[in-house]
């Protein structure tokens, strides 16, 4: 297993739209293992392939506090959604920034599991929010897109400034 590099906003590669996975094979399962390692190490509760610069429709999540609820969703598609919930969200691609986003509180999602088998599940609360957040990544969308333009620019400037400082001290 290997830890993968996570792209950070405003990297244009985060805006690519991912294409469907055609074959669920050992190569894909190796990528899934690396994505879990990367997500747990960060630490985070969800990671979309887009964030590690692989533009396939694949995401992993685990909203538990003890790594006990790992889910792999390949070619996920939300087939039902209802209710409204507002959650303080963060994102591994927008480090150190959190803000409130409104999403559906309950979803039904159809996907292929890690064996390539078509599956459906219902999710609510944080898991539902996380899956919606990750599917947005696959469509090239970030949670900061739900904020005002002014707020998004502030986040962008702050992250760019922090990266300049990091580069300077790494010399």
Q: Which residues bind Ni ion (CB under 5 A)?
A: 91
Decide whether 111 or 143 has the Cβ nearer to Ni ion: 143
Q: Which is nearer to Ni ion, 98 or 125 (CB)?
A: 98
CB of residue 131 to Ni ion, shortest distance in Å? 11
Is 134 noted as a catalytic residue in this protein? yes
Least separation in angstroms between residue 127's CB and Ni ion is 14
CA distance linking residue 138 with residue 13, whole number of Å: 11
C-alpha to C-alpha distances, 84 to 23, 91, 100, 139, nearest whole angstrom: 35, 20, 13, 21
> Of residues 89, 120, 124, 134, which has the active-site annotation?
134
- In the numeric block, the tokens 């539902």 are attached to 128
Whichever of 91 and 107 has its CB closer to Ni ion, that residue is 91
Q: Which run of H or of E encompasses 78?
A: strand 71-82
Report which residue's Cβ sits closest to Ni ion.
Answer: 91
Query: Residue 46 burial by CB count (10 A; 0-12/13-18/19+): exposed, middle or buried?
Result: buried
Least distance between Ni ion and beta carbon 144 (Å): 10
Active-site residue set: 134
């Amino acid at each position: 297993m290997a830890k993968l590099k996570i792209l950070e906003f405003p990297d244009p590669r985060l805006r690519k739209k991912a294409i469907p996975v055609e074959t669920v094979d050992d190569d894909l399962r190796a990528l899934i293992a690396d994505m879990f390692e990367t997500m747990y190490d960060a630490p985070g509760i969800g990671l979309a392939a887009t964030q590690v610069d692989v533009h396939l429709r694949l995401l992993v999540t685990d909203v538990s506090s003890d790594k006990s609820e790992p889910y792999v969703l390949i070619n996920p598609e939300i087939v039902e959604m209802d209710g409204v919930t507002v959650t303080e969200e963060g994102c591994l691609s927008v480090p150190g920034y959190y803000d409130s986003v409104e999403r559906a509180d309950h979803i039904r999602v159809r996907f292929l599991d890690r064996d390539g088998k078509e599956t459906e599940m219902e999710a609510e609360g944080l898991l539902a929010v996380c899956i919606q957040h990750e599917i947005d990544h696959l469509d090239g969308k970030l949670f900061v897109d739900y904020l005002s333009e002014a707020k998004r620019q502030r986040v962008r400037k702050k992250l760019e400034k922090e990266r300049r400082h990091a580069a300077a001290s790494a010399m």
